[in-house]
């Protein structure tokens, strides 16, 4: 664990890194800051500070890819699951490996593709040239996602342990990013509500406005509480709940804050639209709120068993 | 005592005393039966010491952090030994007595509440004063030797069982709003007090009207100073929205588990079960950090309104699922088990009304946590 003073310095460094104009420059600044060392020293502090800030300023970086690679002990870029999914992005058919995944970083000559085969996971080292790499425009071009699809044959695979743990870590990271984005949207809407005057009063005096903002805060705090709990118990099930709650709270905040910001929030002249776009995609990344929630509910109904109680 | 040690030894004791602690009635029981059960459980846990941990030595406690109080309530609730609402009244009223009563009065009275020798009630709401607490009008005037109280309270839980009442009175002018309020600690057997229980929709006479007709209250029963009643109320409300909610969540967890065991196949929607499960987990995570803040001696304030909004939402979500999974039991079942589900389902409809309505909690969040300024 790093101490409070070191953490403050580190968080300030993260803040400066995200002041850089491009994602390459952000990556370089995070490298200089020693984020990888921080990750080894205090995983929770390193992940929560970086991703919360990344969400707050609506930036992007290679940090999610690095996190999965570091968790899996992989040498090189690890392909993320396809949007909306959380299972490994590779599928094995005889000698062939089919790939359907994503990356948040620009990748080099080779990528690591994890595939599920029967009762184990396998990591394949795949030449990038064998795959189709499509820079994603989509609803949020500034997220700079790369879609990675295609098929390859006769590649070397190594048995791999730890997909579940790497996925859980990734879900917590994206969860923090969603909470950061939600808090930023709430602050934008709050500032607007205090300034915007209608009927001779700031709209912040109207209960309909106040309650939307209050509901946004309640949703955000609930998500943050599950993120905290997931860092304590380190259970994959709790991490999935944290991801689901973070996605849900971001959608709630986006809906309420956009309504409070009204016309101006629907224009590209105001910053809100960047967050609205961002959370639409981040909710889907590593499992959407809806899908993860339904999966949990199906398991609970089938097993008639609630998740273990978080101890006092 | 450390929490882990407390937890292990309490669990062992509860196993060992299972027979002595078990209720004499089946199902939820009548309110009379629940009160008798509460008294029994409090006495046994107080005499064995468990109930005394986490309370100051000067009021008969054994000291230490407040965490054992949270765990004791959770354990008793999870084992269905007490009804959580009536059990948690002590968590609401005793801290206020400790903070505001004269030391000798607190030292005499608090152990009686903790041991179950007495029941206390909270006289806040009035017919014209629900969410707008600062407009209360039950009047106390100074006279020779003490206060004379005249007025009416309503929604006073358990007043018909109570020996004492923490009462908010108007001592300033009507226009003085929150500045002219004084809190008193009133003996419920004082001449001039009339209690009339109100039967509520769920079939329980838990709430009461209480009438005060020129009731004498000695000056040494003033909690805090004259005119400081608003501070007493503001001190009390975060307690109402912290440990008691931790206990209530333990109860909701048990009932949701029992619903999963009892619901016929294909009656529960997976997405809704998933969401309720997540919200319940989120509440417990949130409430856990509130409990640890309390244990570190931090003052709880408006952020407990978030706990309250979450808990009320979850209570209704859990019983909405009961409405799906056990629909006909709720509608036409007349056995003990059905009656219990129905009573609790109906009571859950009030979760967004009592203890500060859902709207008031959101007003507090907007004003105090989001700093949105006055709503006028």
pLDDT digits (tens, 9 = 90+) for B240-270: 889 999 999 999 999 999 999 999 999 999 9
Q: Please name which of B88, B106, B97, B223 lies closest in space to residue B158, comparing C-alpha atoms.
A: B88
User: What integer pLDDT is reported at residue A1 of this predicted model?
Assistant: 56
CB of B273 within 8 Å of any CB in chain A? yes
Gap between the terminal Cα atoms of chain B: 49
Residue A116's contacts (CB-CB under 8 Å, 6 or more residues apart) are A87, A88, A90, A91, A92, A122, A163
* Average pLDDT of the residues in B134-138: 93
Reply yes or no on whether B240 is catalytic.
yes
CB of B275 within 8 Å of any CB in chain A? yes
Which tens digit of pLDDT belongs to each residue from B3-48? 999 999 999 999 999 999 999 998 889 999 999 999 999 999 999 9
Q: What is the pTM of this model?
A: 0.96
User: Cα dihedral sign for A139, A168, A181, A223?
Assistant: positive
CA distance A179 to chain B (A): 14
Nearest to B282 among A204, A211, A222 (CB): A222
Contact A306 B289 (CB under 8 A): no
Q: Please name which of A86, A82, A74, A163 lies closest in space to residue A124, comparing C-alpha atoms.
A: A74
Structure tokens at B159: 């007043």
The percentage of residues in chain B with a pLDDT greater than 70, rounded to a whole number, is: 100
Structure tokens at B209: 């009207």
Nearest to B289 among A225, A244, A298 (CB): A225
Contact B363 A210 (CB under 8 A): yes
Residue B285: list chain A partners with CB under 8 A: 225-226, 228-229, 310
CB of B253 within 8 Å of any CB in chain A? yes
Contact B375 A205 (CB under 8 A): yes
At residue B29, the 3 state secondary structure works out as coil
Which tens digit of pLDDT belongs to each residue from A128-139? 999 999 999 999
Structure tokens at B155: 């929604």
Contact B370 A213 (CB under 8 A): yes
Q: Please name which of B347, B25, B69, B97 lies closest in space to residue B206, comparing C-alpha atoms.
A: B347
Residue B361: list chain A partners with CB under 8 A: 214
B237 neighbors B192 (Cβ within 8 angstroms): no
**Of B74, B126, B206, B240, which one is the catalytic site residue?**
B240
Contact A210 B273 (CB under 8 A): no
The DSSP letter of residue B52 is G
Which tens digit of pLDDT belongs to each residue from A174-228? 999 999 999 999 999 999 999 999 999 999 999 999 999 999 999 999 999 999 9
Dist. CA A206–CA B43, nearest whole Å: 50
How many A×B Cβ pairs under 8 Å? 141
User: What integer pLDDT is reported at residue B183 of this predicted model?
Assistant: 97
CB of B69 within 8 Å of any CB in chain A? no
The percentage of residues in chain A with a pLDDT greater than 70, rounded to a whole number, is: 99
Contact A190 B372 (CB under 8 A): yes
Contact A218 B310 (CB under 8 A): yes
pLDDT band for position B82 (cuts 50, 70, 90): very high
Dist. CA B148–CA A273, nearest whole Å: 62
Burial of B56 by CB count in 10 Å (0-12 exposed, 13-18 middle, 19+ buried)? middle
- The residue among A186, A190, A208, A218 with the most chain B CBs within 10 A of its CB, best to mutate, is A218
The residue count of chain B comes to 376
Number of alpha carbons in the 13 Å side-chain half-sphere of residue B235: 19
Q: Secondary structure of chain A: what % helix, strand, coil (to 5)?
A: 60, 15, 25
The partner residues of A251 in beta bridges, in order of sequence, read none
CB of B256 within 8 Å of any CB in chain A? yes
Residue B359: list chain A partners with CB under 8 A: 207, 211
Contact B289 A228 (CB under 8 A): yes
Residue B2: list chain A partners with CB under 8 A: none
CA distance A145 to chain B (A): 29
């Amino acid at each position: 664990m790093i101490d409070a003073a070191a953490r403050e310095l580190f968080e300030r460094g993260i803040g400066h890194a995200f002041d850089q104009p491009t994602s390459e420059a952000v990556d370089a600044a995070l490298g200089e800051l020693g984020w990888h060392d921080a990750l080894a020293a205090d995983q929770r502090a390193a992940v929560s500070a970086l991703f919360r800030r990344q969400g707050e300023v609506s930036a992007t970086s290679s940090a999610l890819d690095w996190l999965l690679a570091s968790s899996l002990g992989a040498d090189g870029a690890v392909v993320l699951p396809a949007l909306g999914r959380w299972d490994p992005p590779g599928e094995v058919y005889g000698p062939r490996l089919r790939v359907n995944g994503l990356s948040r970083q620009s990748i080099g000559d080779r990528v690591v593709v994890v595939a599920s085969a029967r009762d184990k996971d396998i990591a394949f080292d795949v030449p990038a040239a064998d795959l189709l790499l499509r820079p994603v425009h989509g609803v949020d071009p500034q997220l700079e996602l790369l879609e990675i699809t295609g098929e390859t044959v006769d590649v070397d695979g190594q048995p791999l342990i730890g997909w579940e743990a790497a996925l859980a870590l990734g879900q917590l990271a994206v969860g923090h990013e969603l909470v950061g984005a939600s808090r930023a949207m709430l602050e934008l809407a709050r500032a607007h509500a205090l300034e915007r005057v209608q009927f001779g009063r700031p709209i912040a005096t109207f209960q309909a406005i106040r309650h939307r903002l209050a509901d946004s805060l309640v949703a955000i705090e609930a998500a943050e509480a599950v993120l905290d709990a997931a860092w304590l118990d380190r259970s994959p099930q709790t991490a999935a709940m944290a991801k689901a709650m973070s996605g849900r709270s971001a959608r709630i905040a986006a809906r309420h804050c956009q309504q409070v910001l009204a016309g101006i929030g629907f224009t590209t002249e105001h910053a809100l639209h960047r967050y609205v776009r961002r959370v639409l995609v981040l909710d889907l990344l590593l499992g959407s709120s809806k899908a993860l929630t339904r999966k949990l509910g199906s398991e609970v109904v089938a097993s008639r068993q609630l998740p273990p109680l978080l101890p006092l | 005592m450390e929490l882990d040690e407390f937890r292990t030894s309490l669990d062992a004791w509860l196993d060992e005393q299972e027979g002595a602690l078990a209720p004499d009635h089946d199902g939820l029981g009548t309110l009379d039966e629940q009160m008798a059960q509460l008294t029994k459980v409090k006495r046994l846990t107080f005499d064995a010491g468990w109930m005394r941990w986490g309370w100051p030595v000067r009021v008969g406690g054994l000291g230490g952090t407040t965490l054992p109080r949270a765990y004791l309530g959770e354990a008793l609730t999870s084992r269905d030994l007490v009804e959580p609402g009536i059990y948690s009244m002590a968590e609401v009223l005793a801290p206020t007595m400790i903070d505001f009563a004269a030391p000798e009065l607190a030292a005499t009275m608090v152990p009686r509440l903790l041991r179950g020798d007495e029941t206390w009630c909270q006289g806040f709401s009035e017919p014209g004063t629900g969410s707008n607490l600062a407009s209360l009008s039950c009047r106390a005037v100074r006279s020779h030797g003490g206060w004379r109280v005249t007025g009416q309270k309503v929604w006073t839980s358990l007043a018909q069982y109570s020996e004492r009442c923490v009462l908010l009175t108007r001592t300033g002018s009507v226009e003085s709003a929150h500045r002219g309020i004084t809190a008193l600690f009133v003996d419920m057997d004082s001449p001039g007090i009339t209690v009339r229980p109100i039967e509520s929709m769920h079939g329980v006479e838990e709430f009461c009207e209480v009438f005060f007709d020129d009731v004498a209250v000695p000056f040494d029963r003033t909690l805090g100073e004259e005119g400081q009643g608003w501070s007493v109320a503001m001190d009390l409300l975060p307690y109402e929205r912290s440990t008691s909610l931790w206990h209530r969540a333990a109860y909701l967890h048990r009932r949701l588990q029992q619903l999963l065991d009892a619901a016929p196949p294909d009656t529960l929607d997976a997405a809704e079960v998933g969401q309720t499960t997540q919200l319940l987990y989120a509440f417990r995570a949130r409430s856990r950090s509130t409990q640890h803040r309390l244990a570190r001696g931090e003052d709880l304030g408006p952020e407990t309104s978030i706990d309250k909004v979450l808990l009320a939402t979850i209570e209704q979500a859990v019983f909405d699922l009961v409405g799906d999974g056990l629909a006909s039991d709720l509608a036409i079942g007349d056995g003990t088990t059905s009656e219990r589900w129905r009573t609790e389902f109906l009571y859950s409809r009030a979760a967004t009304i009592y203890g500060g309505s859902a709207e008031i909690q959101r007003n507090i969040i907007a004003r105090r946590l989001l700093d949105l300024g006055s709503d006028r």
